[in-house]
Amino acid sequence: MKRNMFTKMVVAVVVGAVTLVGTSVPSSAQQTRGKKQKVQVEGTAPKKVQVERTAPKRVQVERTAPKQVVVQQRQPRVVLTDQQQQDARQRSSAVQQQQRAAQQRELQRQQQQRVTVQQQDQRRVERQRQTQIDQQQVIDRQQQRAGQRRLDQQQQRQVVLQQQQRIARYQQRLNQDQRLADQRIARLREQKRMAQWQYQQEYFRRIAEQQRQLQAYQNYNYYNDPYFYTAPSYRYNRGGSWYQTNSYGADLLRQAVNYGYQEGFRAGQADRSDRWGYNYRDSFAFQDANFGYNGLYLDQDAYNYYFRQGFERGYEDGYYSRNRYGSYNNGALSILGAVVNTILNLQSLD
């Protein structure tokens, strides 16, 4: 009986132990699983950190995005630039052709203008010469009727020989002046005297035209020119010495003073426009003093002297914008006759 009771108690203890084990195993399993989960979660945390560390790469990608945009924007520009370059070359070629055509037309116009001016100058010189010849012929006939003296053949040959020597010296002088022209123009450009530079260019052009006209005197018939057989009728004093000339020489002296006045007036205006100091001696036209001189009738020194007399007075009027020594007659500038008479002081030999 006691044994049966003991057996039942053992069975009850075993059953209770099994029950306790059954209930405790799940809780430990859950704890184990919980620990694994915690470990797994905690193990994945660095992955989040790693993701967060890669975030700047995304920022870097976003920052480089404009470069892609720029590249995408430049690609059509390269294509357009090639096309534009081709169009630009075509337009440039067309513009250059137009410019060359315009330059050619301008050169033709300037050439035609120079030819026209030269023809006008030549016709004017021819008319003046013909007028002088006609006037002298009238004087000669009057002198012949009055029994006045003419040069004999020997005197005439001597005058012609002097004239030929005068022409040769004048030709050499013009060649020297032409070589100095470029240097003179370059110096004016360096000084930025553009008004004086333009005036000097025009003066050189007219001197060059005179030089070309000298070729016509190579076959000039001096014996048919009244100057070379007309006796002197005037005398004038220059530098303390007396000189004689006829009416042709006297007219050339008056022309020297008048041309000098006109050139001086233009030179004075140019210096005033350039705001340059008053200095008529600095002008090449004053130094040259050959404009209007054709090598006939007078020595070059005489023409130069009276040209400079007129130039000095013309420069003063042009520089100060006044007409003290000259005036405009029918649109042409000329020195006053009274001033010319004072400068020349021609005295009749009668």
Chunk the chain into consecutive blocks of 10 residues (it has 350) and report each block's average pLDDT, rounded to whole numbers: 59 57 46 46 45 48 49 52 80 87 85 77 68 60 49 67 70 68 80 91 86 72 79 91 92 96 96 95 91 84 95 97 91 92 91
CA dihedral (341, 342, 346, 348) in degrees, to 10, reads 80
Strands 241-245 and 234-238: antiparallel
What is the structure's pLDDT at 115? Answer: 77
Measured in whole angstroms, the distance separating CA 123 from the mean position of its chain's CA atoms is: 33
pLDDT of 49: 42
With respect to residue 206, please indicate whether it lies within any of the assigned structural domains. Answer: yes
For residue 54, being part of any structural domain is answered with no
Query: Can you give the pLDDT at residue 12?
Result: 64
Residue 259 lies in a domain: yes
Determine whether 313 is exposed, middle or buried from the number of CB atoms within 10 Å of its CB (0-12, 13-18, 19+). buried
C-alpha pair distances (Å), 141 with each of 149, 154, 157? 12, 21, 22
pLDDT of 335 reads 95
Distance, CA of 316 to CA of 283 (rounded, Å): 13
Q: How many structural domains compose the chain? A: 1
Q: What is the rounded CA–CA span in Å between residue 282 and residue 270? A: 12
Integer CA distances (angstroms), 179 to 213, 258, 277, in order: 18, 27, 26
Q: What is the structure's pLDDT at 261? A: 97
Q: Return d(Cα 145, Cα 101) in angstroms, integer.
A: 65
> What is the structure's pLDDT at 5?
63
**Tokens standing for 27?**
């809780």
> Are the C-beta atoms of 291 and 241 separated by less than 8 Å?
no
pLDDT of 38 = 45
Give the range of the structural domain holding residue 297, as residue numbers without chain letter: 150-348
Tokens of 330: 């029918």
